[in-house]
A = this chain, B = another copy of it.
Amino acid sequence: MRLIDLIEKKKSGQAHSEEELRFIAESAASGAVPDYQLSAWLMAVLWRRMEQNEIAELTRAMSESGETLNLRSLKRPKIDKHSTGGVGDGVSLVLAPLLAEAGLIIPMMSGRGLGHTGGTLDKLESIPGFRIRFSKSEIESQIKKIGVCLFGQNQNIAPADRKLYQLRDATATVDSLPLIVSSILSKKMAEDLDGLILDIKVGSGAIFRTAKEAEALAQALIQTSRRLKLKAVAVLTAMEEPLGRAVGNALEVKQAVEVLNGDFSARDFVECTLALGGWALKIARLSRSADEGRETLEKLLKNGRALKRMEEIIRHQGGEVRVLKNPSFLPRAKKMTLFKAATSGVIARMDARKTGEAAILLGAGRSRAEDAIDYGAGIIFFKKTGDAVKAGEAVANFYAANEKKIKEAEARFKEGFSISTGTVKGKPVIIKTLGLATK
């Protein structure tokens, strides 16, 4: 088989066979074909798209292009959650210990911050000593011991996806539904999962700004999961404003610890976490409904058991467990400055994308891949959209290494911030739920 013939085929609008997709995935993983042929094929896929069965076969082939976890000896349901990425989306930090405590097996593969959005791996690494790089056998071993492991994709997991993702990023072929779906699901398939909860963010801070686009992705993910015998539920959640009350790595860990302590003041964050978690219990058949599942989870947060599980995770992954009792063990930024309301009224807009960009300017993320992260940098919100404020009242606190960064970040944040004298209607976090288990 020659890749040039497969480019020709896709270019002329034909569908690939399973064998052809396996050839492409294996060649991408092994480096047996030149990058310039793979990138021409990627552009042809973006142009001509793929049929449902092509997406499923490509996903399976990419997933099998490297090592896959073997968790067959564990009888409990194995579930992971995937989010398309947002601002303040530290939900995994709470959900992983919480679902493990509820009786699920949680092999949770996460990523790094991308663009204006944060990444779970960066947040975890703000805990001193916390490790996220493991071999396949280390991951399997920890999961067998404590039911959960939080880790990053390594060279051996879905290497075809690593190669194709790098090329897509460099060749403007990121925004292709078949390529997005196969990339997301190939990594998840390598985890030996029974079910998957998909958090599809919608709004200014998300990849998809409209519910229509997000729903198209959700549908494609669910249809492909179905073909791959993976139970999946997709929840469309709001990303017009940052989620929760913290944006920034250590600040989000601190917030997660508060939630694990039963402090639900970051209402939208808790709502999102419980909604996703409820569906996880439902598709795992550990609850009769998503609502019943969320009640179970709420109890595990209130009674401190989820926090105990988090302590086990941190201990097993080499992290400083004292961060759970005393946030001063987390990195802290040198400077902080209150952001105050200029006028009285109701907060009408707190744009998620601008907030994410402001956080990057504060040092919470990377502008370039080689940049170091300031784990203590970020923003804490005292008020969110719909809250009343008085002129001069503190809306947020900005944390960074110096005043200059804070000034730049404030300016960026202001571009997406407004106070209205009229009424502002709050919007729900959960927009829509799709998938098998909703029937």
Contact = CB atoms under 8 A, between A and B. Distances in A.
Contact of A39 (B5, B36, B46, B172): B36
A4 B171 contact: yes
Contacts of A43: 7, 11, 39-40, 43-44, 47
A369 interface: no
Main SS at interface, chain A = helix
Contacts of A34: 35-36, 170
Interface string A159-193: 00000000100111100000000000000000000
13 contacts: A4-B171, A34-B35, A34-B170, A35-B35, A35-B36, A39-B39, A39-B40, A40-B40, A40-B42, A40-B172, A40-B173, A44-B47, A47-B47
A34 B11 CA distance: 22
A38 interface: yes
Interface string A11-40: 100000000000000000000001111111
State which size class the interface on A falls in.
20 to 34
A8 interface: yes
Q: How many copies of this chain does the complex contain?
A: 2
A171 B47 contact: no
B37 A170 contact: yes
A6 B47 CA distance: 16
The 3 closest A-B pairs by CB, nearest first: A40-B171, A43-B43, A35-B36
Interface of A: 4-5, 7-8, 11, 34-40, 42-44, 46-47, 167, 170-173
A71 B35 CA distance: 41
A318 B46 CA distance: 52
Nearest to A12: B172
A11 B46 contact: yes
Given A11-B43, A43-B43, A47-B43, A36 B4 contact: no
Contacts of A42: 40
Contacts of A8: 172
A46 B172 CA distance: 15
A4 B37 contact: no
A187 B281 CA distance: 66
A152 B408 CA distance: 58
A321 to B, nearest CB: 43
Contact of A7 (B4, B47, B172): B172
Contacts of A40: 39-40, 42-43, 171-173
A170 B35 contact: no
A164 to B, nearest CB: 11
Nearest to A6: B172
Nearest to A5: B172
A333 B173 CA distance: 52
Contacts of A47: 43-44, 47
B170 A36 contact: yes
Nearest to A45: B43
A236 B47 CA distance: 33
Nearest to A9: B172
Contacts of A5: 172
Contacts of A7: 43, 171-172
